[in-house]
Structure 1
Amino acid sequence: MKAGNIEQFKHLSQFRDLKDLNNNMEAFLAEHKKDFTKSELICFKALLRFSVKVVGVSNISISKLLQAISERFGEVSESTFHRMKRKAIKLGILTVYTTHRKNGSQSSNVWVFNRFLNSQTIDTPISDTKQEKVAKNQENIVEQLTPQKTNNLLETNNLSNKRNENVSDNKYLVDKLDGSFTSSRVPVEFRDLVKCFYDDHKTIEELWKVIHIQTYYLSYYSLDDRISLAIDSFKQMVRNIKRGRKIRNIFGYFWGIVEKKLDEEYKSIICEVA
């Protein structure tokens, strides 16, 4: 195969779009993540990051890929990359084509990710469900966070109805739990930042849910990536509010900030591999 611009390898792509690629890679890693070491996974996900201009195809050189990894995660050896490559090929998720220059010397390989999901089926029922949940979440998120109203009759009960009052109080307390009661699914770093401004467990959990939904299909995103995205986005939201921005719905506004940051990241990746 002759070496050339990445555009000439478009015919090797097996995916409709970036979302289709991410769905397949997420499904693959759900089953085979255990087959790779931590360093090998870093190599796998880094190669995936450089396979977006032509979806699922890259011709980045190993040296450039390892340099990009070292700048972000620390040094990873070339032998680690080759171990990842052999495993990925054996598992059927990666095909490697050698290319040659006009003078016959070998050039960079072409890395082609293969489908893991059947292209004749709807890739994942989960993806459709998630899309519905996103829309529903956008519409109902305020209602979900609105504390339930206490019963006025219970508030006027006398001491003879103390037991009923206790039940009402307990219900009220559940709705008013502070940030220390946030679900363990929310990273501590994000929880501790948000509770300085919104010390309510539901608010913190719903803000993190925005991150979870927005990055659901980004299989190359690590937990640290999600935390960094969440913290940067929240800081930007707080900064804008402090500067006088009027916001009716912090969750919808936060969603917009996160979405814009992901769009900017996508454009930067495109530029990197151009």
Structure 2
Amino acid sequence: MQIASADYNAMKQLKTFETKEELNNTVRAFLYHYKHELTPAAILTLKTISRFALKIPGVCWAKISTIASIIEKSSRTIHRALKQLEDLGIIERLKTIRKNGGYGHPVIIIKPIPGLLLPDHVTSDVTSEMSHRQNTTNTDMTSVQSAKNDSETEIFKTESLRVNKNNNTYMHKREIDEIELDSNFVSKEVPGEFVKKVKIAFDKAKQIERLWHSTKVAFQKVWGPCRIDEKSLELVFEAWNKTVKKYKQRKIEFNKIPGYYYGTLYGMVYDEKMSIYNKPQIPEILRYDFIEGESL
């Protein structure tokens, strides 16, 4: 199903709840039953979506970038969270089409789940209340500013039963999965000076390790199996500085940096080898010490 972007009347037709209380209770019940299966990012994403889905109960038109900014996660993390929530059946994403053609950002629908209820013995810490929002006749559907300015509901935590040790382990695994492997996780094989140099452009461990691999390949292509010593690192850093300068001069694009760096370093290593092999040789006769009677 596709709807026109910024069409408020079409949005109203997507309403999935009659009242804000119904929406709130559905989200609370879902979190009670499925919290152990959700990543922390998915939980925060669902709570944030529910706050934006009050004007038309169940319908959220906030942009991914807005949600990411609010919960301080990357857009990629939000997409993964939405995928998980969609797989569990609590939300649905619908494409929108702009008036001038092309797709707009998707509308996120929170769906009722029949039979999903909170047990009688479970109560919220504080009675959940849905805040009143002023009716707006001229709604800017491309902005969520009004949603942020209005007082918003908070989905309060529910008092749940103790989870067993296996569920605790599962949750810890989820949290670990969310960790970004930055420069602190780079293999010890990569010199610290190299990491410090290149992390101004590439801060992920995998990116830095891939760049170091291309560094080793550049030397091996010229010298064969070899060890990159301190003197060789001087060439490495000179090649990197040339690459950064070229980018700063806007002569190469950012995604071309690894390839340009490799080509520059390879050329420098090759030139160094040629300078050694082409170095003028001293004739043997000039190496003989006629005074001492032995070769120098």
Same structural fold, with TM-score higher than 0.5 when normalized by the shorter chain:
no
Q: Which has the higher helix share?
A: 1
Q: Select the structure of larger CA radius of gyration.
A: 2
Q: Which has the higher strand share?
A: 2
User: Which of 1 and 2 has higher RCO (CA within 8 Å, sep 6+)?
Assistant: 1
Q: Shorter-chain TM-score: what band?
A: 0.3 to 0.5
Scaled by the length of structure 2, the TM-score of the pair is: 0.41
